[in-house]
Amino acid sequence: MRALVQRVSAASVAVDGAVLGEIGPGLMVLVCAMQGDDEAASTKLAEKISKLRIFRDDEGRMNRSVADIGGAALVVSQFTLAADTSRGNRPGFSTAAAPDEGERLYLHFAGELARLGLPVATGRFGADMAVTLTNDGPVTIWMDTDA
């Protein structure tokens, strides 16, 4: 699975002008299931992200996790993280999981973050979503369970 993780002071996601999920300080997580991914990859990614020490401690160092600061996660499906730009100018997305499998693993990932004790808000799989966020830092980290 792939994820783009951003430390945020606030984030929200809306569909057709209606806000589906919003958080204050925490993590904006764009996530994509790839072909061959399974629940184990989803769980592994959730565990890694929940422990990722990218929040400032009292000395200003990135030493705290989202749980340490009492933050939340906004999880949004993002199949374009599977983009292959190696040929031509139009990205290919053939390495992304099929939609049914992608949705199942996306929901599993969000559920795993919640199981780990994080408040979780989500978007709507497959919808045209408007995501708003304030990146704090900025801190943006690319993660891939195959890397």
Identity at 44, one-letter amino acid code: K
The predicted structure's pLDDT at residue 58? 96
Q: What global pTM score does this model have?
A: 0.95
**Spatial distance between the Cα atoms of 89 and 64, rounded to a whole number of angstroms:** 40
Q: Which of 143, 146, 145, 137 is nearest to 55 (CA)?
A: 137
Active site residues: 78-80
The DSSP string of 75-134 is EEE-GGGG-B-SSSSS-B-TTBPPHHHHHHHHHHHHHHHHHTT--EEE--TTS--EEEEE
Cβ burial 15-27 (10 Å sphere, 16+ → b, else e): eeeeebbebebbb
Superfamily per CATH, domain 2-136: D-tyrosyl-tRNA(Tyr) deacylase (3.50.80.10)
How many other C-beta atoms are found inside a 10 Å radius of the C-beta of residue 141?
13
pLDDT at 64: 98
Residue 53, pLDDT score = 98
Q: Tell me whether the omega of the peptide bond preceding residue 25 falls within 30 degrees of 0, making it cis.
A: no
Burial (Cβ within 10 Å: 0-12, 13-18, ≥19) of residue 116? middle
Structure tokens at 122: 């989500």
Q: Please list the rounded mean pLDDT of every run of 10 residues in the chain (147 residues).
A: 98 97 98 97 97 97 98 97 94 96 98 98 97 97 92
